[in-house]
Structure 1
Amino acid sequence: MHARQKQLAIGTAWLLAAGLASPAFAQPPEPTDLIDQQHCMFCHTIDAPFLAPSFRQIADRYREKPNASEMLEQKLRLGGKAHWGDMPMPLPADRGGPLSPEDAHTLIDWVLTQ
């Protein structure tokens, strides 16, 4: 490890230990390929409602709710009834094809950090 990398690692560890950095500091990268494959942006945006709620609205509603990740992952994998107006989550076949549990988890994990 180079000296600069060591300094950065020590600084980050110190901030976390001091409570000055939040878990959002380690935000997962945007899963662009999955977002494109599932056509998420046909209905959602990052920060403004469109045909469906924004990812930020979803995160604000569900981020702190127990078992929300599992519920959202199921809805993403199987489709589901509308929780935000009249439009339900389309079935996977209508969005981009089947989604593995791991890919659903990756997408929901990212959405909940918005």
Structure 2
Amino acid sequence: MNAPHLHYLTTSALALLLAASGAALAQSEPTALVDQQHCMFCHTRDAPFLAPSFQQIADRYRDVPNASVMLEHKLRLGGKAHWGDMAMPLPADRGGPLTPEDAHTLVQWVLSQ
């Protein structure tokens, strides 16, 4: 195999690896949890509705130390509004309590937006 073909194959393989790793970083929506908790009643992925979009939440908290712990706590217990007028409803008003694991799953998904 000559050098140009080897370079092309190496570059192509590297591009595929980078694309695959980027896809692995993007988490798929935990649809059952999103539906159970009625997240889409107040949030959308990319535009404010009754509450901030998931992208806005991710932009605000993605790089904040311990933000995931705070967000998981807020998801599990409800809480006052951090911006705007809409507070996070109590779990009983959203579809029931969340386990710490389910809260973690939802928050990690939101922060991956």
What is the match of residue 4 of structure 1?
Answer: none
1:93 aligns with 2:92: yes
Note the residue ranges of structure 1 that are not aligned, 5 or more in a row: 1-7
In terms of fraction of residues, the more helix-rich structure is: 2
SS at match of 1:104: helix
What is the match of residue 32 of structure 1?
Answer: 31
What is the match of residue 112 of structure 2?
Answer: 113
Distance 2:66 2:39 in 1: 22
Distance 1:96 1:84 in 2: 23
What is the match of residue 66 of structure 2?
Answer: 67
Describe the superposition over 1:30-87 as per-residue Cα deviations: whole angstroms up to 9, x where unpaired. 1000000000000000000000000000000000000000000000000011111111
Distance 1:100 1:113 in 2: 20
Note the residue ranges of structure 2 that are not aligned, 5 or more in a row: 1-12
Normalization by structure 2: what TM-score? 0.81
What is the match of residue 42 of structure 2?
Answer: 43
Distance 1:109 1:97 in 2: 20
Runs of 4+ in structure 1 displaced over 4 angstroms? Answer: none
What is the match of residue 82 of structure 1?
Answer: 81
Matched residues, percent identical? 76
SS at match of 1:28: coil
Distance 1:100 1:25 in 2: 25
Distance 2:84 2:61 in 1: 16
What is the match of residue 53 of structure 1?
Answer: 52
| 1:32 partner amino acid | T
How many Å apart are 1:25 and its aligned residue? Answer: 4.7
Normalization by structure 1: what TM-score? 0.80
Size of the aligned set, in residue pairs, is 101
Distance 1:78 1:26 in 2: 28
